[in-house]
Amino acid sequence: MSTTKFDYIVIGAGSAGSVIANRLSNENHLSVLVLEAGPADTLPLIKIPGAFAFFMYSKKYNWSYEAEAVDDIRHGAPMFCPRGKTLGGSSAINAMVYIRGHKTDYDRWEQQGNAGWSYEHMLPYFKKSETNERGADDFHGGLGPLYVSDVRNDYPLNDRFLEGAHQAGFPLNNDFNGKDFEGAGYFQFTIQNGERCGVSKAFLKPASIRSNLQVECEAFVNKIIFKGKKAIGVEYKQGNKIFTVYAKKEIILCGGAFNSPQLLMLSGIGDKEELAEHNIPLVHELTGVGKNLQEHVDACVLVKSLKKDGFSVGPGGLMKMLPDVIKYYKSKTGKLANSITQSGGFLKSSPEVDVPDIQLHFVPLLFDDCGRDVKLLAGHGYSLHVCVLRPKSRGKLTLKSADPREPIRIDFNFLSDPDDAKVLVNGIRVARKILKSAAFDDYRGEEIHPGKDVESEDELLQKCKDRLGLVYHPVGTCKMGHDVTAVVDNELKVHGIESLRVVDASIMPDLVSGNTNAPIIAIAEKAADIILQEVIS
Ligand SMILES: Cc1cc2nc3c(=O)[nH]c(=O)nc-3n(C[C@H](O)[C@H](O)[C@H](O)COP(=O)(O)OP(=O)(O)OC[C@H]3O[C@@H](n4cnc5c(N)ncnc54)[C@H](O)[C@@H]3O)c2cc1C
């Protein structure tokens, strides 16, 4: 296909963009162009679930953003914010946990005035996208492109975690995406036969053979072009050349929670005064662009292990991994065929809570700072991470410059709402209760963090801040809604603008109670249906 006019231009081939590209190009009379800033995903390491840490150091496949430093958080060090930059977007570098969230998350969106977004409306899209290895049922799909599988546990510590949760009085759960959400258990994963099943493999590759779909890699979109209030085209840079392409029907922005609002601002949609500061001509004022930033703020308990059957990057630990490397290359099994976290759960931080408000990720290694704390990783131990599922604090993104290559300023404003701090501290107490259970007796060494003598509310909170983390789930920066801060409507059309939609993590009005990949895929499935229904009618 050689043209500068397409029916649809999709910006970004991540979790949402790949789904949109697949579903729209399934109609062979529609031409679709996908522009992805990152390179193709041909690197074999992308397929290996256990290669997670590699991508935390990659500048080629990861945007590697840093949030604004805050004095009393991580001792003033900026927080690292990984984001995938290749075909598949963040699903190419994520931890592959398959979680949908709680049904009330979606019901809340609908109650906020977003008709059509309740759990009842979303469930068919979760099922449509999924093939669950356990088979189809009322909650799971059996025919979708995204393969979802059970964990092959290679770490005895995971079983101890489940035993410990049970001993501490928490229920166990065999399917967090089924009837019941609460409990501790093994997660399911987007892994197929020992290889990552990201959206590129599931949605984009199968569609790439279609003659009506063109995918351009290393195509960095600089801005969206408007005629009056209508989006008509896109300017992008590939190599040293600048290209302009035009959309006959629509432009669909799928750049993720940081890049989509940035691109809207660079193109003239945002807060009038902020754009004027950077001499960006205003196309349409929407003050909510970049606001309402939310992320799962995370803290952890780190414990030294008396046994050495977890994972470590110390010399002994790496030697012990060798048989697993061979095993993986021979049969796609063993530790490398698994995500970094295999078990966890959704629990209540206190008895007064109705719906679980913390998520636990258990990791059979000493894991902090996205696995970039190598000194810590070199020891033997285990970590229990706790995140606040529905934080009340709201952050914001602001432009540093009108240069599209300059990253946007990220201000999470973590724990600014005291309720978040309370949930986090109570969550750490829940985590400690599990780790202090008899199940861990023969593993338990010294508590490295927060530290055995740290008990008071204030001390615990400060310790949480010292190692504060995130779960890589930024959302909400082009929120769906109808109030003055909303950026898109319930059909994901940008308010006040013609022929432009945003479809990605940024449209969530508020965070879902869990990992965000599956919800974003379902959002994109729904968006594709809305778009195609308009084509037919
Ligand atoms: C390290 C990590 C671990 C995670 N673990 C999990 C997990 O285990 N389970 C889970 O459910 N979720 C997980 N997530 C979150 C989940 O993967 C993301 O929420 C989801 O993939 C985001 O989807 P998206 O479509 O909004 O954006 P993305 O998938 O990030 O896609 C955006 C795409 O747009 C491209 N792009 C951006 N700007 C431009 C531009 N100007 N021009 C062209 N292209 C552009 C990007 O390169 C990218 O490919 C994790 C995320 C990370 C980073």
Average pLDDT over residues 101-127: 98
Counting ligand 1 atoms within 8 A of each CB, the residue from 188, 516, 523, 525 with the most, and so the one to mutate, is 516
From the CB of 11, is ligand 1 less than 6 Å away?
yes
From the CB of 155, is ligand 1 less than 6 Å away?
no
Q: Which atom of ligand 1 is nearest to the CA of 98?
A: 11
**473 annotated active-site:** yes
Residue 395 DSSP one-character state: B
From the CB of 148, is ligand 1 less than 6 Å away?
no
pLDDT of residue 3: 60
Which residue in the list 284, 385, 449, 473 is annotated as catalytic? 473
Half-sphere exposure of 285 (CA within 13 A, CB side): 7
Closest CA to ligand 1's atom 23:
15
Closest CA to ligand 1's atom 27:
256
Q: Which atom of ligand 1 is nearest to the CA of 339?
A: 8
Residue-wise pLDDT for 23-54, tens only, equals 999 999 999 999 999 999 999 999 999 999 89
Half-sphere exposure of 160 (CA within 13 A, CB side): 24
- Which residue pairs from 140-146 have beta carbons closer than 8 angstroms and sit at least 24 positions apart in sequence? 140/177, 140/178, 145/22, 145/202, 145/203, 145/206, 146/190, 146/197, 146/199, 146/202, 146/203, 146/518, 146/521
Q: Is 103 exposed, middle or buried (0-12, 13-18, 19+ CB in 10 A)?
A: middle
From the CB of 183, is ligand 1 less than 6 Å away?
no
Residue-wise pLDDT for 318-358, tens only, equals 888 899 999 999 999 999 999 999 999 999 999 999 999 99
pTM of the complete model: 0.98
- Domains of the chain, each with CATH number or no CATH: 1-65+81-100+189-290+475-537 (3.50.50.60), 152-186+297-388+415-467 (3.30.410.40)
pLDDT of residue 8: 98
Q: Which atom of ligand 1 is nearest to the CA of 505?
A: 26
**Centre of ligand 1 from the C-alpha of residue 91, in Å:** 6
**Centre of ligand 1 from the C-alpha of residue 89, in Å:** 5
pLDDT of residue 517: 98
Q: Which atom of ligand 1 is nearest to the CA of 88?
A: 49
Q: Is the bond preceding 450 in cis, omega lying within 30 degrees of 0?
A: yes
Residue-wise pLDDT for 482-514, tens only, equals 999 999 999 999 999 999 999 999 999 999 999
Counting ligand 1 atoms within 8 A of each CB, the residue from 15, 62, 90, 259 with the most, and so the one to mutate, is 90
Residue 157 pLDDT grade (very low, low, confident, very high; cuts 50, 70, 90): very high
From the CB of 383, is ligand 1 less than 6 Å away?
no
Half-sphere exposure of 486 (CA within 13 A, CB side): 19
